[in-house]
Structure 1
């Protein structure tokens, strides 16, 4: 066994954290609460890249499931499985279950990966059981990789919708080049590779997310290339990749989900550094800048955004999805700080009462037999998003694809069957 101990100033390495990977032991830094590790080597081992962050040595990012043992991790009672230092693998994130597959001598991990990349037709659930082992719990950290244009949209009031991932599953993808794989827009390859952007929030409830597989998603599986943006939807619940096995999710019915408190807009640099640019504060209804002056240049890739401003949502901007809570028989706009804190939205701390019931309020409609979410309404017209796009519905409605899986269209308000506000309840 090769032992590689660098002389860098890495904090975790200095604390004695070592991990065993591919038959070697490396000094390491824990990432995303133990979902991945940065491995440090003084030599150019296979898969390692040079970096200036750790004294000009070599590093690579590895998911925790590829680590066979952890030695000398920092004490953190109740947050690990296994016994690090005695050959156990560290998993500090207790909310997220890893993907599980029944491997045998005849069924290898390569076989599972091959199954995940084969476009699935209706009635072919060969990999469905494996995919269902990756689940979302209340408080699971979710992520959506963004282009600069999309990042600007969130600063101006967008809510998460469409394809997204658990942070646990993509924690080892840390560079702009790696994160390009997860882009959902049509701008991939146009933005600078000096920075990548992402949105991170916590799931309010697992009912807000679905696996993009099964009969309800056959329309996306069969969508012709001319009518889609981004990679095809395989119908397996995994993102297309010739190397990685990454479970993907979509927001239920492609509807917007409310942002949780302290959601973050992130930037990733070519050396794998993660930087928080803004955090979302619901009481202020906006994004508070966190990046110091030395990192303001990372905002240059976000069009029409000033690095000297914070972005607050104005009261006249209607949200297509809103969190509401019941308190003493009355309903109020609510704030979610999962997994345990749900309260009335109020600028005054004394009025932030814990709510007794909670629901997500949005509007559905039907137009030409297609189920849609109402995003906004203007004089005589309604902006709609298709809940389950099919090639026939896209062609019949003239809907346009704005990002992977997200199809929207303007419709005459007089022609739609508006169902009014719908409350989708959560269990507290």
Structure 2
């Protein structure tokens, strides 16, 4: 099976979609249900790049966010309500450029204008989230890693479609230099807005104070926005930087230099594994992924203890549950007849303290616990010897006998 990219310039020309950008109307293709557009031009235009396609047609293209266009003609009706756009208060003297500059200054973290703009980027149940990955991180998620750390709404980053453009969102400290031909990402739906935080305020101030030697990736600014010279991208983190359960139908995707999106794998919650979706045309995109056979059809995660999972109640008994959004939450079961909708649901995970530092317990091996710091700062990193594995994520091993306040916690969701 060969799955076609989700974006195709020829398709945009066939559907008759036209978008007005900077006073000119262009044939276009919709991206992420209208969150962004790929514009096409037969002649060279400032800001467009030369990108001829094998099927022919206009050879110049540009990706723009929906907030940059002034009119859309011929768009199809969307099955889901759009995400809330990023908005700024109307002001005679303060424009987009000034706001973007403020978001890049840590000293402006408490500026009311920055806070007002950031507050308009909200999450809801079912919001599509994105995390840009390296090849190593992609391999980790195929083998069982869960969503964690810094992430973004797909709506806010849909116009970033090439490895160079997506480099601003990578948290491994490598950027695009290690693999300029392809970028990877994990995409999933948020099970509950309470699973996420905005990395601002006193709770995350320690991240902004970490020296370069104790972090990977771009510095955390504390304004709630990603560091960028020309973008305004609101950031989120998983609450306490912990793992979140993998929802059904999450996907691992690739963005080659051509600017298309290729779905590599989708998560099959019933079998706890990843089903390969990519066919021979794009299988070379997996060549850089370590310890992963590009021709392997299905990759089971296995039965290793998971750091977090959903639990729900049905007919008076507790069951493991799965988020199957936008539909809801149901019992984790292989057979369709047993996938009952649960009556209550909660996220269950394990917390502990080591040397008075709050941590999530990721796993236990031979009397040792793998811990992730919930609030990294220079002092907690120094006292635990935790190592930074990606932007904002610090982990360490601790003797189980030295850990205190070891407990399992349930975070209930409202249904």
- What is the alpha-carbon distance in structure 1 between the residues aligned to residue 136 and residue 394 of structure 2? 17
- What is the alpha-carbon distance in structure 2 between the residues aligned to residue 273 and residue 121 of structure 1? 36
Contact 1:238 1:245 in 2 (8 A): yes
Per-residue CA distance 1:267-299 (angstroms, 9 max, x = gap): 011121100000000101000000011111010
Q: SS where residue 233 of structure 1 aligns?
A: coil
- What is the alpha-carbon distance in structure 2 between the residues aligned to residue 214 and residue 367 of structure 1? 24
Gap regions ≥5 residues in structure 2: 1-7
Which shows bigger deviation, 141-150 or 411-420? 411-420
Which shows bigger deviation, 104-113 or 170-179? 104-113
Q: Go from structure 1 to structure 2 and tell me whether the alpha carbon gap of 1:195 and 1:189 turns closer, same or farther (over 3 Å shift).
A: closer
Which shows bigger deviation, 321-330 or 280-289? 321-330
1:103 to 72, 90, 105: 90
Q: SS where residue 33 of structure 2 aligns?
A: helix
- What is the alpha-carbon distance in structure 2 between the residues aligned to residue 399 and residue 318 of structure 1? 22
- What is the alpha-carbon distance in structure 2 between the residues aligned to residue 111 and residue 103 of structure 1? 13
Higher relative CO (Cα under 8 Å, sequence separation at least 6) belongs to 2
| Equivalent residue, structure 1, for 2:159 | 172
| Equivalent residue, structure 2, for 1:215 | 202
Q: SS where residue 283 of structure 1 aligns?
A: coil
Matched, 1:28 2:28: yes
Matched, 1:382 2:369: yes
Contact 1:200 1:264 in 2 (8 A): yes
| Equivalent residue, structure 2, for 1:89 | none
1:314 to 280, 295, 302: 302
- What is the alpha-carbon distance in structure 2 between the residues aligned to residue 236 and residue 204 of structure 1? 25
Q: Go from structure 1 to structure 2 and tell me whether the alpha carbon gap of 1:32 and 1:371 turns closer, same or farther (over 3 Å shift).
A: same
| Equivalent residue, structure 2, for 1:236 | 223
| Equivalent residue, structure 2, for 1:44 | 44
Contact 1:95 1:140 in 2 (8 A): no
Map 1:113-152 onto structure 2 (within 5 A): 113-120=100-107, 124-152=111-139
- What is the alpha-carbon distance in structure 2 between the residues aligned to residue 167 and residue 347 of structure 1? 30
1:184 to 146, 171, 174: 171
TM-score (norm 1): 0.92
Q: SS where residue 301 of structure 1 aligns?
A: coil
- What is the alpha-carbon distance in structure 1 between the residues aligned to residue 372 and residue 18 of structure 2? 49
- What is the alpha-carbon distance in structure 1 between the residues aligned to residue 406 and residue 369 of structure 2? 13
Matched, 1:203 2:203: no
2:70 to 68, 71, 83: 68
Per-residue CA distance 1:311-368 (angstroms, 9 max, x = gap): 10212x1110111111122111111112332110111111111100001110000111
Per-residue CA distance 1:187-212 (angstroms, 9 max, x = gap): 32442211110000000000001000
- What is the alpha-carbon distance in structure 2 between the residues aligned to residue 285 and residue 51 of structure 1? 39
- What is the alpha-carbon distance in structure 1 between the residues aligned to residue 121 and residue 26 of structure 2? 28
Q: SS where residue 33 of structure 1 aligns?
A: coil
Which shows bigger deviation, 45-54 or 150-159? 45-54
- What is the alpha-carbon distance in structure 2 between the residues aligned to residue 411 and residue 73 of structure 1? 55
What displacement does 1:95 show?
4.4
Cα RMSD for the two superposed structures: 1.5
Per-residue CA distance 1:98-157 (angstroms, 9 max, x = gap): 111013221111110011000137755551121011001000000000000000000000
- What is the alpha-carbon distance in structure 1 between the residues aligned to residue 11 and residue 326 of structure 2? 29
Q: SS where residue 388 of structure 1 aligns?
A: coil
- What is the alpha-carbon distance in structure 2 between the residues aligned to residue 267 and residue 388 of structure 1? 31
2:378 to 380, 391, 397: 391
Per-residue CA distance 1:249-280 (angstroms, 9 max, x = gap): 00000010111111000001112110000000
TM-score (norm 2): 0.95
What displacement does 1:371 show?
0.7
Q: SS where residue 394 of structure 1 aligns?
A: helix
- What is the alpha-carbon distance in structure 2 between the residues aligned to residue 417 and residue 66 of structure 1? 52
2:244 to 251, 254, 257: 257
Q: SS where residue 104 of structure 1 aligns?
A: coil
What displacement does 1:9 show?
6.7
Which shows bigger deviation, 191-200 or 51-60? 51-60
- What is the alpha-carbon distance in structure 2 between the residues aligned to residue 369 and residue 386 of structure 1? 11
Q: SS where residue 144 of structure 1 aligns?
A: strand
Contact 1:50 1:56 in 2 (8 A): no
Matched, 1:336 2:323: yes
- What is the alpha-carbon distance in structure 2 between the residues aligned to residue 122 and residue 33 of structure 1? 32
- What is the alpha-carbon distance in structure 1 between the residues aligned to residue 133 and residue 205 of structure 2? 25
Q: Go from structure 1 to structure 2 and tell me whether the alpha carbon gap of 1:171 and 1:352 turns closer, same or farther (over 3 Å shift).
A: same
Q: SS where residue 120 of structure 1 aligns?
A: helix
Where do 4+ consecutive residues of structure 1 move more than 4 Å? 121-126
